Structure 1
Amino acid sequence: MSAMSLSSSASRVLVHFRTSYFTEWGQHVAVCGEGPLFGNWDVKKAHWLSCRHVGEELLWEGLVPIPAVKDFTYRLAVVNEDFEVLKWASERHTVVLPDGLEEGAIVDVDEVWTDEGHPSLVLARSAFARVVWRNRCTAAGGRVLRQAPLLNEVVVRFQVNDGELKEGETLCILGGTAQLGNWQLGEVLAMTALSPSTWEAEVRLPLSSLPCTYKYGIRRGDGSLELEAGENRMVALPANDGARAPALVARFDGCFRRQQRWRGAGVAVPVFSLRSAQSVGSGEFLDLIPLVDLCAATGFSLIQVLPVSDTSVRGAEPHWRDSYPYSSLCVFALHPLYLRLQALADELPADIAAEIEEAQRALDLEEGVDFEATMKTKLRIARAVFDRCGAADLESESFRRFCSDAWEWLQPYAVFIWLRRVFGTGEHWRWGALSQPTREVLDRLSSPSQEWHRSLQFTYWLQWHLHRQLLQASQHAASRHVSLKGDLPIGVDKCSVDTWMDPKLFRMNVSTGAPPDYFDPNGQNWGFPTYNWEEMGKDGYLWWRRRLAHMAQYFHAYRIDHILGFFRIWEIPGDCTSGILGRFRPSIPLSRHELESHGIWDFDRLCEPWITDEVLREVFGPELASEVAARYLQEQANGRYRFRQQYASEAALTAIPPRRCLMADMAPEDVEAVRRGLLSLRQNVVLLRDPEDPNAFYPRFALSTTSSFKALEPHWKEELARLHNDYYYHRQDALWRQQSHRTLPALMGATDMLVCGEDLGMIPACVHPVMAELGLIGLRIQRMPAEEGAKFGDPLAYPYMTVASPSSHDTTVTRGWWEADERRRQEFWTEVLGGEGRAPASCTPAVLEHILQQHMDSPSMLAIFPLQDLLPLSSRLPDVPAALQQVNEPSNPEHYWRYRLHVSLEQIQEDADLRHLLTDMLQAAQRFHGDAPRTG
């Protein structure tokens, strides 16, 4: 049925829209919809509502005359005076008009404004609706008997959402009229399921019975009834006594108000860290299957993993630095590290099977993952299997279908790998004519007639097997009601297939990173190009939508690695190695005019490193100061120094060979001290000049800590400190909110996956409100409280829309954190755990259990625990020092990601005491969602 198809009558009706919503100054609520009557979804042609205060609410309403169409579809939006949509209501609604409406009939449309981030709508995403819910209600497709208005009666249509109903449960209405049961529990009005989460009922009510209060309820198969929480709802006639009564009241009541919301728990573990009886050198996709079974038996609902895309960016030969899982060679390709060799053929040749067993024995002697040896072993054996057993696979329907579905990324990925071997580098901008590929070029290079075609086929075949293995694990997880949560890295490597194929989507001359924070006082430089969001937006963020649709084949939820990057990114010049000289993009800079209006004018002084004899003596001491000046600096006429051209960047200083640093007989630690001193001089600036606009400037992060700032006159220091704080904490909020509303909805709308955001660090004021509006689940780490000034987070005070975790892959494990700092440990023991006396020096199982139970008891939707925080609860499993269980050290850009569990999944499965303890803890916290709860 067309949303604006005309009925046989030519009469007109008046549609009275009403909703309550608190806007800010300059904002309006508008009704937008299909067809010319509602502006064809163009807010510039939408109907703007007017507002008035009614009690404690701000009521927006408006009267829209329309022809007596059969139905119309609309959606509410909050817009500003520039006609920009700041926020959409959660849903579009279709209103079907009763037959036979008179000329001038009134239709009231009352909508409870519901943000897209309402918890009930988040719980309808695939991680829950298609995986976690057991015995979920699947009723849908019902037809509601439409009523026609009679004399002195009004048709009232009720609609409400709830995605948590179980099989055998239905929604109903109970209220204060005979038609709604007169509040008698046995006389409810049944509702009809339009979809598994949307329910509707329609009834004629006498005008004399209004106003009428009511509530929605859940009726169970055993006849019991649970009414929703909160105050009674009300349907009423217009307040104006002389107004004509409506023929239809359509009530879109938002979401059923649950007494208690669903809460679950999960485990976090990098796939590479798993160890099993069949894995070779590292964890593998098929190791997720026994982990899923362990979680389902214990009561966990989710498994969270790190990124699993191919990171082999340093060339054809495996390199340990490619163990970094956040630097993608291709965001669509899976990493061969996770390949299960034994699953490459139904029956492997005996010599290959023996080689696999020998490799497994040798590699399992390693405490962690030997990335280079494992990759070489897997690629070598996989190629042997392909050469001897792969012919039949290449002709199979499954393989052909995979290649057809994946061809858009699979073809350039395979060609890139081959070209990288030919050119000896992944720096594709050095490939001459092939640095700007076209589909025609790719088709020629991948033609079966080419002598290297066999190499391309091996790449296709390898990705096919990885796809099948991860898909098998994902399907098994869904069958056991355990969601898989993936990880979405913020960046891609410069030497990647993605930047080769779509260079216009990336800013290749700069890098992504993070300003100084808890993890690193110098900031972080991840080396990724930043995104060209303006270019990405031209096709509706197609690259992102394709990327997420691909990810949704395997995962039911995902974590956005650096969600702040979708508000703003910390962009660092290409010649920097640290993150401290970056600036936010997008951002509103300080203009020359603005600075001059505050009496600040010597921009060369503020933008050039402040280097004087006094500064040199402070940094290097009196003995080395003159030698450093002679080798690396040039003295200026004003008595200050500047870097010689060849040493004028962080990259140049970092690249100085140790033997040329100063004196040949210097100890290595002294050489590095000189290098750090030189870098600190380069960073000793107050303002950063925009390379694209000489009249725009950015305050250097924490500028007041520099000696350059301290040498300024008091007035300049006062004004620059104020402008610094304004730049970083105030002036960008509206801009960043707009940016996030352009980017994040495109991501979230691409799939039905649950979306979580890593919102740690320096969080702008706009971030948490936007996350709440969109339904993005935040992260809370107890040792990194979100509340300003707090020493520790309070899990019992966490918001529902969060993940509660005691640690993460970017921190020390809980035991390591406890044992590292005596003063902090004592404060936590006394203030958080309520302990008396001296805190235990080691994190005993009892202490750890207390900390974990706090997180399980939190209101957070999900409590997710690194596996390393759970295993020490066991009295049977062997123990290892906490320092050996840390996955990543964010302050070390050269960190080797090689952590591997010291016990196998089989050993964990055999530890019944540990499983029972975890089940009891989950049951006590009402987070258990496993096979069968323990009864004692």
Structure 2
Amino acid sequence: MTLRFYVQYASAWGEQLYLSYTCGDAVSILPMAYLDANTWWVELEMEAPAVLHYHYLLNGLAGKNEKRISITNNDDLTVRDEWVHPGAVENVWLTAPFRMAQPGAEDAQADNISQRSTGNCHFKVRSPLSQGPLWLMGNIPALGNWNETKAVQLQCGNDGYFGVSLQIPAGSHIEYKYFRAGRYEAGENRRVITGTHTIVQDGFTRFYDQPPKGAGVAVPLFSLRSERSCGVGEFADIRLLADWAAQTGLRMIQLLPVNDTTVNYSWTDSYPYAVISAFALHPVYAHLPAVEEAIAKSKGAFGSAAHTAANTPVDILLNAGYAATQSRLNAAALLDYEAVIQYKMQCLRLLHREHVPDAAFHAWAAANEYWLQPYASFCCKRDNEENASFYYFVQYQLHCQLSEAVAYARSKGVAIKGDLPIGVSLQSADVAAFPGLFHTGLQAGAPPDEFAERGQNWGFPTYNWPAMEAEGYAWWRQRLRHMAQYFSAYRIDHILGFFRIWQIPRHAKDGILGYFEPALPLTKDELQQWGIPFSRERYCEPYITDAVLYRLFGAQAVTVKAVCLEPSGGGHYRLLEGFRTQTGVLDAELEPSVTEGLLCLITNVLLIESSPGSYHPRFHLHRTSSFEALDTDVQQRLQKLAEHFFYFRHNELWELEALRKLPVLQQATDMLVCGEDLGMVPHSVPGVMRQLGILSLEVEHMPKHPGRRPADAPYLSVITPSTHDMPTLREWRPADGRQVLAAQLQSQAMWCIPLLQDWLSLDASLPQLPPEQERINNPAVMPWYWRYRMPLTLEALCGADRLNTLIGKLIKESGR
């Protein structure tokens, strides 16, 4: 049979459309031919029966949705399609948070089209946000001859697809439109000429309604406080937060990562982005009474009477002093992470002894074995434990509790938004299980900014992207699909890392000693072409003179010279072997002032040598005393080179990197994707995010351009006054918090999601912490204790009528 594809697309000069299809195990990519100003086409021969999976590519950019056709006989088939750009806003409206607004729709597989259905011509169209039935009308009897009473109704699926099969003679010249709620779609009539068998796929309907906007609340789960929780926010508390959100008109709850971060059970494990598993949930969020209840039910169904009479789970929590411990931990103004996690693990171990695995547990464990086994092995080694079943038990309880809470929130019309950390801990189950996917000799971070003068060093190993690509990004796909069990949307932490990552040698402490990867490093010849008299020792080694030493060390300079340095000629010095790296200095256990001075001295370089003969300008090299000592002409040349290197040299390279990786994340699930595009943003980032339909982050406290206002936020964005890394409104804008929130709500951004602290600031009569204690994280301080807790319970928040009425009023007035 002959299969012909016709695609409507008004292309520009230099653009090329491709058909990518899979039939069986064979994957083919065919260039399409330019037919006219609005149409591309291609044909291929196939034999029935067959199933064809396909999508279109525009100059390598893949369309968002894969299509499927079942070939049942050898009659010729014509497919008339549209190229839908992946960045089209309608694609965003097909994601999970918007589908939640369409309850009761039938679950139809409209994307799985058979060559033969009830007719020879199948019409298919996407129509997100549709309310009520969708109809098809046109200029032939089968389409009602433009008579509304004879229009054809399309069948709706819960994913926003509509379709209908009709019997229409081959060669018919059809003009038609879609019709909904008493009105035709906008634009000219659609046109098609039918074949023997035709599939017409029209992209999206053209009902240009007011684009939907929503509001939400951002809060770390550990910051929640309820009468039922024990010292920390728990998965069960999401229910109460959803009640409050629904009451006020908020439609999204945004959480920080909820993955396990347990390395040593100390407060340093409170850092929610240092995950030890990209899949495992954190035991600190377990609601112990719910675990107890689940075990009691399980034992009642499967345990013997003699066994259950001996020691019930209720006795275990009672004997563990749960009520008294809960009262003590809940009384604390801030999170006592160590006390909470140690007590909860103690109770979970006691409860595990009474656990009777049932069929549901075994089915879940089998389905999740791919990550559970490495995670449990890691935990056994960490805890000197031999029984891996304990960790299976804990993760199953956490899964059940989070799933139940998320289902409840969705029933209230509230979507849960998760957070995708840019890295995983060096000490993690993923690194141990898949070492080839990571560069453990390097660490990720960020270059200096207004929040961290010496840059940020997160300590995470960087990704081995070529190895991940060779495996079809399987680890990422599994990770995203696992998240989609719980979340309708997610925030990509540090999306810039998918363009390029700031990579720091493992021997360095300060992020300022890093460099971008991938990059196009400079060579000696290139430096000399810029007119820079390059010397490796002068540019890559710390610049040390007596003047530099006395500026850094004062009276201690003489001792530092005697203990840590040796002369290198011409009044210069070099560090002795044991002090040439920052880790070496830290291991030497010197006086704190000497240690700090040596750490700074090591950063006094102009170029970073990533490998022999490959050089990167040190970030902010113009602020070094090494730079000050150069001739003025060389200073100007070097500063101009650094500016070109950081802001222009890599634009095309970084764009291609992101377009290889980000579509994999986006297409793995139907979650709404938002990117944290803050910091030193490459020029290509906004364009790539628009191309892919990824929402940007607009933060008033950290505007992307001087003078940028909430009114300037694009529709495909999330707007917020500040983030968890910044001061809250009560510390930053104490006099006009209400005006800030009102202006943000009135913006065109699709979502306005302020911090919970900023919502609470609207009512000064409510309990409050000192403003400086409301801050969740300070990136300039590493490690930081993540311990903020809301100053009132969720029960009290639900009853805060004055605040809740005001929030509801602001949201209603903004049209959200």
Contact in 2 for aligned 1:120/1:255 (Cα 8 Å):
yes
User: Which of residues 228, 232, 235 is equivalent to 2:188?
Assistant: 232
Matched, 1:570 2:502: yes
Matched, 1:363 2:329: yes
In structure 2, relative to structure 1, the CA distance for the partners of 1:403 and 1:13 (3 Å cut) is: closer
Aligned partner of 2:278 in structure 1 is 331
In structure 2, relative to structure 1, the CA distance for the partners of 1:862 and 1:638 (3 Å cut) is: same
Matched, 1:352 2:317: yes
Aligned partner of 1:47 in structure 2 is 31
Q: Percent identity?
A: 35
Q: How does 1:1-12 map to 2 (within 5 A)?
A: 6=1
CA RMSD of superposed structures (Å): 3.3
Contact in 2 for aligned 1:21/1:113 (Cα 8 Å):
no
Matched, 1:124 2:124: no
In structure 2, relative to structure 1, the CA distance for the partners of 1:330 and 1:159 (3 Å cut) is: closer
Contact in 2 for aligned 1:268/1:305 (Cα 8 Å):
yes
Aligned partner of 1:900 in structure 2 is 789
User: Which of residues 20, 23, 27 is equivalent to 1:32?
Assistant: 20
Q: Which amino acid aligns with 1:488?
A: L
* CA shift digits 1:728-765 (9 cap, x unpaired): 22222222222222222222233222222111111112
Cα distance between partner residues in 2 of 1:705 and 1:233: 63
* CA shift digits 1:44-95 (9 cap, x unpaired): xx1343487x5xxxx563464758989976532123xxxxx34336443659
Aligned partner of 1:833 in structure 2 is none
Cα distance between partner residues in 2 of 1:577 and 1:15: 57
Contact in 2 for aligned 1:86/1:738 (Cα 8 Å):
no
User: Which of residues 353, 371, 374 is equivalent to 1:409?
Assistant: 371
Q: TM-score, structure 1 length as denominator?
A: 0.78
In structure 2, relative to structure 1, the CA distance for the partners of 1:251 and 1:794 (3 Å cut) is: farther
Q: How does 1:649-728 map to 2 (within 5 A)?
A: 649-657=581-589, 660-661=590-591, 671-672=592-593, 674-691=594-611, 694-728=612-646
Contact in 2 for aligned 1:134/1:481 (Cα 8 Å):
no
Task: Report the CA distance between 1:723 and its aligned residue.
Answer: 2.8
Q: Secondary structure at the match of 1:893?
A: coil
Aligned partner of 1:736 in structure 2 is 654
Q: Which amino acid aligns with 1:362?
A: R
User: Which of residues 761, 764, 781 is equivalent to 2:682?
Assistant: 764
Aligned partner of 2:308 in structure 1 is none
Task: Report the CA distance between 1:178 and its aligned residue.
Answer: 8.2
- Bigger drift between 394-403 and 62-71 goes to 62-71
User: Which of residues 246, 267, 270 is equivalent to 1:320?
Assistant: 267
In structure 2, relative to structure 1, the CA distance for the partners of 1:21 and 1:195 (3 Å cut) is: farther
In structure 2, relative to structure 1, the CA distance for the partners of 1:177 and 1:48 (3 Å cut) is: closer
Contact in 2 for aligned 1:132/1:483 (Cα 8 Å):
no
User: Which of residues 703, 709, 716 is equivalent to 1:801?
Assistant: 716
In structure 2, relative to structure 1, the CA distance for the partners of 1:522 and 1:209 (3 Å cut) is: same
User: Which of residues 343, 349, 352 is equivalent to 2:290?
Assistant: 343
User: Which of residues 461, 466, 472 is equivalent to 1:540?
Assistant: 472
Task: Report the CA distance between 1:250 and its aligned residue.
Answer: 6.0
Aligned partner of 1:87 in structure 2 is 62
Cα distance between partner residues in 1 of 2:394 and 2:70: 52
Cα distance between partner residues in 2 of 1:890 and 1:911: 33
Aligned partner of 1:613 in structure 2 is 546
Q: TM-score, structure 2 length as denominator?
A: 0.89
Contact in 1 for aligned 2:7/2:82 (Cα 8 Å):
no
Aligned partner of 2:350 in structure 1 is 384
Aligned partner of 1:886 in structure 2 is 775
Q: How does 1:138-153 map to 2 (within 5 A)?
A: none
Cα distance between partner residues in 2 of 1:904 and 1:850: 26
Contact in 2 for aligned 1:132/1:482 (Cα 8 Å):
no
Cα distance between partner residues in 1 of 2:75 and 2:380: 70
Aligned partner of 1:811 in structure 2 is 726
In structure 2, relative to structure 1, the CA distance for the partners of 1:552 and 1:200 (3 Å cut) is: closer
Q: Which amino acid aligns with 2:792?
A: V
Aligned partner of 1:420 in structure 2 is 382
Task: Report the CA distance between 1:624 and its aligned residue.
Answer: 4.4
In structure 2, relative to structure 1, the CA distance for the partners of 1:93 and 1:382 (3 Å cut) is: closer
Aligned partner of 1:222 in structure 2 is none
In structure 2, relative to structure 1, the CA distance for the partners of 1:872 and 1:136 (3 Å cut) is: farther
Contact in 1 for aligned 2:6/2:39 (Cα 8 Å):
no
User: Which of residues 504, 514, 525 is equivalent to 1:593?
Assistant: 525
Stretches of structure 1 lacking an aligned partner (at least 5 in a row): 1-5, 7-11, 80-84, 149-154, 220-224, 238-244, 423-451, 662-670, 819-841, 928-936
In structure 2, relative to structure 1, the CA distance for the partners of 1:198 and 1:409 (3 Å cut) is: closer
In structure 2, relative to structure 1, the CA distance for the partners of 1:250 and 1:591 (3 Å cut) is: farther
User: Which of residues 164, 167, 181 is equivalent to 2:129?
Assistant: 164
Cα distance between partner residues in 2 of 1:227 and 1:285: 46
Task: Report the CA distance between 1:368 and its aligned residue.
Answer: 0.4
Contact in 1 for aligned 2:106/2:157 (Cα 8 Å):
no
Aligned partner of 1:280 in structure 2 is 230
Q: Which amino acid aligns with 1:873?
A: L
* CA shift digits 1:886-918 (9 cap, x unpaired): 111111112111111110011111112222222
* CA shift digits 1:550-593 (9 cap, x unpaired): 22222222211121122211110011111101111111111233
Q: How does 1:194-233 map to 2 (within 5 A)?
A: 196-200=159-163, 215-219=177-181, 225-229=182-186, 231-233=187-189
Q: Secondary structure at the match of 2:280?
A: strand
Task: Report the CA distance between 1:160 and its aligned residue.
Answer: 2.2
Cα distance between partner residues in 1 of 2:551 and 2:251: 56
Task: Report the CA distance between 1:234 and its aligned residue.
Answer: 4.4
Q: Secondary structure at the match of 2:9?
A: strand
Q: Secondary structure at the match of 1:549?
A: helix
Q: How does 1:55-66 map to 2 (within 5 A)?
A: 59=38, 61-62=40-41, 64=43
Q: Secondary structure at the match of 2:62?
A: strand
Q: Which amino acid aligns with 2:694?
A: L
* CA shift digits 1:274-316 (9 cap, x unpaired): 11111111111111111112212222221111111111113xx
Task: Report the CA distance between 1:514 and its aligned residue.
Answer: 0.6
Q: Secondary structure at the match of 2:694?
A: coil
Contact in 2 for aligned 1:162/1:256 (Cα 8 Å):
yes
Task: Report the CA distance between 1:332 and its aligned residue.
Answer: 2.2
Q: Highest CA radius of gyration, 1 or 2?
A: 1
Contact in 2 for aligned 1:77/1:89 (Cα 8 Å):
no
Aligned partner of 2:84 in structure 1 is 114
Cα distance between partner residues in 2 of 1:796 and 1:121: 24
Q: Secondary structure at the match of 1:755?
A: strand
Q: How does 1:169-188 map to 2 (within 5 A)?
A: 169-173=132-136, 188=151
Stretches of structure 2 lacking an aligned partner (at least 5 in a row): 297-312
Aligned partner of 1:254 in structure 2 is 203
Cα distance between partner residues in 1 of 2:200 and 2:349: 63
In structure 2, relative to structure 1, the CA distance for the partners of 1:817 and 1:875 (3 Å cut) is: closer
In structure 2, relative to structure 1, the CA distance for the partners of 1:135 and 1:875 (3 Å cut) is: farther
User: Which of residues 296, 299, 303 is equivalent to 2:249?
Assistant: 299
Contact in 2 for aligned 1:613/1:640 (Cα 8 Å):
yes
Task: Report the CA distance between 1:872 and its aligned residue.
Answer: 2.1
Aligned partner of 2:698 in structure 1 is 780
In structure 2, relative to structure 1, the CA distance for the partners of 1:97 and 1:172 (3 Å cut) is: farther
Q: Which amino acid aligns with 1:397?
A: A
Cα distance between partner residues in 1 of 2:94 and 2:720: 23
Contact in 2 for aligned 1:137/1:165 (Cα 8 Å):
no
Aligned partner of 2:436 in structure 1 is 504
